[in-house]
Structure 1
Amino acid sequence: MRRDRLRVLLVEFTRPDPAAVALGRLLRDDGVEVVHAGPVVTVEQIVRTAEQEDPDAVGVLGAAPPEDLEDALGGVPVFTAETASEVVKRLAGGRSHTGEAPSDRVR
């Protein structure tokens, strides 16, 4: 099944990070479907949540993502707040605000 919008899973690894909400809003306003899982403590929790949500990418905030996380996710790209824009642009092919997925500010 192909989605019209990118789906990103945001998790706060090991500790809450207030930037997660702000990043989620920015991504949402750029036409990305955001699932905010909140704080998680183990890689296993991230993997199980990703299996349920089927994201196109996983954003990890709060602490650096474990190096083997992308492998554990079956190759799903993992990004941090610092690399979010590059990953989302790469996945979206550089598009922003399509007719099918306008900014939430426009709806």
Structure 2
Amino acid sequence: MITFLTSLAILLAGYIFYSRYLERTMEADPNRPTPAVSMGDGVDFVPMPWWRVLLIQFLNIAGLGPIFGAIAGALWGPVAFVWIVLGTVFAGAVHDYFSGMLSVRHNGLSITE
């Protein structure tokens, strides 16, 4: 239970403090339109409500969690909670945020383009 509560605290601290740091680093402009708005074509660029975007992100992340979490827990024990949480905060969230911001800055292009 201590490992679980520590993991929750790390996630909360990452959300509150690290996300602000990343936003300052990327110099996000909340008034800049996203490619879905500026280049909306109804096929590749479609504006969606915030709850639908949140649901898609959650389902993408939650799909691997039950598989990887069980394997990591079996291999390394309760410390896997902390490892998964640190990976989520410092790798997964950063990648998702920066790839989205790069797409906004480069007119909807993906990382490979």
So what's the TM-score if we normalise by structure 1? 0.27
Indicate the structure with greater strand content: 1
Indicate the structure with greater helix content: 2
Query: Is the radius of gyration larger for structure 1 or structure 2?
Result: 2
So what's the TM-score if we normalise by structure 2? 0.26
